[in-house]
Amino acid sequence: METHISGQRGEAVWKKMGFDGHFIKEARGQSGGIWCLWDSSKWKVDILAHNSQMVHMKVKSGSSPYYFLTAIYGSPQRINRNYLWDDIRSIHNEINLPWCLIGDFNALLHDHERHDGSNSNSRGACPDFQACVSDCGLLDLGYSGWPFTWKRGNLVESLDRGLSNLDW
């Protein structure tokens, strides 16, 4: 889960949530932060890699088989997101199990996700994100619930999503 709180305030929040397993990438000011929280009596989680934009894990529940899960908070700056696309491609090269990527990529995969009536190509789908998804053979899992995750003036965006290398 993406969060914008960190430090002692963040710790107080996740402790109240009752999860005994956790891995936290702290927010930097109002930028990012990724919390991975779980109940260790139900989930086995191994953190394999992490940086400011992602946490890559191997997870399983009970007797279910392992799979890879990557929690994403893409940088709001396009130049920094290019590092994320490179990281995703590198992880893809090592994948030998089902893989799911979830979170806020801070990039649009499809032009129809922008809901501001703008026809500007510069503010539509991100070709670098599209190329990464294609290069890694990922499928868009879509979303459930309200399709637009934030609004600024007349601009409404849809950014949170799930991607997978298998049709689960």
Query: Any idea what the CATH number is for the domain that residue 73 is in?
Result: 3.60.10.10
Q: Which domain holds residue 134?
A: 41-164
- Residue 14 domain flag: no
Single-letter amino acid, residue 65: P
> What is the helix (H) or strand (E) element at residue 10, kind and residue range?
helix 7-16
Tokens representing 154 are 């007349």
Gap between the terminal Cα atoms of the chain: 21
Kindly report the average pLDDT of the chain as a whole number.
81
- Residue 145 domain flag: yes
Q: Taking residues 133-142, what's their average pLDDT?
A: 91
- Residue 135 domain flag: yes
Q: What is the pLDDT of residue 125?
A: 82
- Residue 57 domain flag: yes
- Residue 137 domain flag: yes
Q: What is the pLDDT of residue 158?
A: 44
Q: Is the full-model pTM beyond 0.75? A: yes
- Residue 124 domain flag: yes
What is the number of structural domains in the chain?
Answer: 1
CB 159 within 8 A of CB 107: yes
- Residue 17 domain flag: no
Tokens representing 151 are 């609004």
